[in-house]
Structure 1
Amino acid sequence: MFPVKAAAELSGLTPETLRAWERRHGAVVPHRDEQGRRLYDAAMVDRLTRLHRLTNRGHPIRDLAALDDAALDGLLEESRQAGYGGVDLLPERMLDAIADYQVDVFDRELSVAIATLPTAVLLARVVMPLLREVGVRWADGRLAIAQERLVSSLLRTRLLSVLNQHPREQRPRVLFATLPGEPHELGLLGAALYAHDAGAPVLYLGAQLPAEELARVSGRLGAAAVALSSIDPGHAPDALAQLRALDAALSPGVPVWLGGGNARYLAEALGIERVQAITDPAALARMVQRRFASIRGRAVPRFES
């Protein structure tokens, strides 16, 4: 439960705007504690965040307040589609350039996309479709191994530059890595960018870090969470052993977030409360938001009515 000031901060509003939306439009109906002070749960904060984004795009709050969360998500998606209609052709155009070894063309297109698109749109509409198409073209012989590696190398370099452009040095940070035997890191890098976009200070450690080293860095920095990616099914048994070692060495209270194709299996097989599978960017953004809200809540216990 979050007091007015914290709920407003997390959703990007001022406390005055939150109160006005609540009083005039019934945008949310807060809980009350024994003293009558208003408290907001995580679902309310998520809803207020959606409302804030849509009002920034020109939708009046009086029209939005009566809509359920699914309808708000639909409006947000329509807004993205309308605002970036030409983006869907970009991955194919970039891969056509790589097929002719026109590295400068690929890099220019990618650089322009990074400079002009919001992070969520860049990842969902350019990077992920690009990686899927790489897989298709490699499988049917239209893309050579050298071309596939060019794409991976250029993507990694440019996306890391985004993450490192405005590093957030404040602590605690979310650590991103893969465990030993997991060399594939583009999905992990995308997740780190989503978390960064959601407001988390991120420290990207890269591929194949042993559990003991992760725990050591986490303890040294007082990490807020450790985020890992595991996609190779053949590596799952080793990943289970490493995750058990990580759980034993990691400080109490530090959550472990798993992404990638193995995430659900690993989380269920371990049955460790702090190890959670995260299956989509929206879920990651919510986890980031809640984690840092809980940290702030411990630091600032004062409530506002």
Structure 2
Amino acid sequence: MLYVRAMYPIKVAAQLAGLSTETLRAWERRHGAIRPVRDANGRRLYDPAAIERLSRLHRLTSRGHPIRDLAALDDAALDRLLDEGRRAAYGGVETLPSRLLDAVADYRVDEFDRDLSVAIATLPMPVLLERVVMPLLREVGLRWADGRLAVAQERLVSSLLRMRLLAVLNPPPRERRRRVLFATLPGEGHELGLIGAALQAHEAGLPVLYLGTELPAVEIARVASKLGAAGVALSSVDPQQARVALEELRRLDAALAPDVPVWLGGANARYLAEELRSARIRAVDDAAAVARSFRPRAGRA
């Protein structure tokens, strides 16, 4: 089969790159920043690589770089500039998780909520996840395990995170794709890892429905059936609840439709998966594994 490269006229290319057609023409004529091909009638055409380059140039000029300094640079050099800008812009984020936890430790709830809200509003989701939320969750787990964080403080972090992040996780009202349900089973009240996993899955492009904590297996199966869920992601952390989780998972395995997979995360996940020996239930290390499992299924739908 002959492969035909996609080509776009100048108006479409400008829209895709976030530019006006006048700016695109000026960058081409005055600075030689881009070299389109032309069709038999002399009209400019742009391939996806050219549009990606235009998008890089647009982002850098928006940050104050003059186009005359950027025009002669290759794409690798433009990417280095963008990366340097990201590091400079988000350098102060590295200390934010510990500052947030210090605020919670002193019950400075307003300070925690303010700093978290600013981070959610201003940081791109990958930066928020990788440099704020996930380090925060790891540190909460460590402090809770060694006694530096009381149960009430851990629940406070969970509550504030939940309140601020559920708006991100909730799908649009008209979302029609089959969703992945995120929940914990009865007796498992720790949801910080679950929230983090749901955010990672959301960022990976999965339609997520966050159900929360301590749901019986029969209820999860009922929701999955009613909504035609694409899968169920569960977190099990508390070792004292492992046996309860095992029985609930057996009920869930029996109640779910045959084509609905179940992913387990958390400290108990590997033990539970090995005990169950179910073809549909498997332990995963992070939500990226859920995304990798889900995408082939979606592609066959």
Return the TM-score normalized by structure 1: 0.66
Q: CA deviation at 1:122?
A: 1.7
Per-residue deviation, 1:230: 0.7
Question: Is residue 124 of structure 1 aligned with residue 125 of structure 2?
Answer: no
Normalising by structure 2, what TM-score?
0.67
Letter in 2 for 1:282: A
- SS at 2:215 equivalent: coil
Of the three residues 219, 227, 231, the one matched with 1:225 is 231
Provide the rounded CA distance (Å) in 1 between the counterparts of 2:218 and 2:53.
Answer: 44
| Distance in 2 of aligned mates of 1:284 and 1:183 | 22
SS of residue in 2 equivalent to 1:276: strand
Contact 1:94 1:109 (C-alpha < 8 Å) held by counterparts: yes
> Which deviations, in whole Å up to 9, do the C-alpha atoms of 1:124-147 show, x marking residues without a partner?
321232233345555676655544
Change (3 A) 1:142 1:243: closer
* Counterpart for residue 174 of structure 1: 180
Task: After superposition, give the CA deviation of every residue in 1:211-255 in whole Å (9 maximum; x if it has no partner).
Answer: 111111111111111111111112112211111111111111111
**What residue in structure 2 maps to residue 101 of structure 1?**
107
Conserved 8 A contact 1:229-1:259: yes
Q: Distance in 1 between matches of 2:199 and 2:74?
A: 30
Q: Name which of 138, 150, 161 aligns with 2:156.
A: 150
Taking the TM superposition and a 5 Å limit, the aligned residue runs for 1:72-111 are 84-111=90-117
2: CA distance, partners of 1:152 / 1:175: 19
Q: How many Å apart are 1:207 and its aligned residue?
A: 0.8
Aligned mates of 2:53, 2:297 — CA distance in 1: 24
Determine whether 1:210 maps to 2:216: yes
In structure 1, the residue matched to 2:170 is 164
The superposition leaves residues 16-46 of structure 1 with CA deviations (integer Å, 9 ceiling, x where unpaired) of 49xxxxxxxxxxxxxxxxxxxxxxxxxxxxx
Cα RMSD between the aligned structures? 3.6
Which of 251, 262, 265 is 1:259 aligned to?
A: 265
Query: Which consecutive residues of structure 2, in runs of 5 or more, have no partner in the other structure?
Result: 8-51, 58-72, 78-82
Task: Name which of structure 1's ranges 199-208 and 127-136 shifts more when overlaid on structure 2.
Answer: 127-136
- C-alpha change, 1:224 and 1:165, in structure 2 (3 Å) is closer
2: distance between equivalents of 1:79 and 1:228?
37
User: Which one of the candidate residues 191, 202, 205 is aligned to 1:199?
Assistant: 205
**Which structure would you say has the larger Rg?**
2
Q: Percent identity?
A: 66
The alignment partner of 1:182 has SS state of coil
Higher relative contact order (CA 8 A, sep 6+): 1
Equivalenced residues, count: 239
Question: Which consecutive aligned stretches of 4+ in structure 1 deviate over 4 angstroms post-superposition?
Answer: 53-63, 77-83, 135-146, 165-168
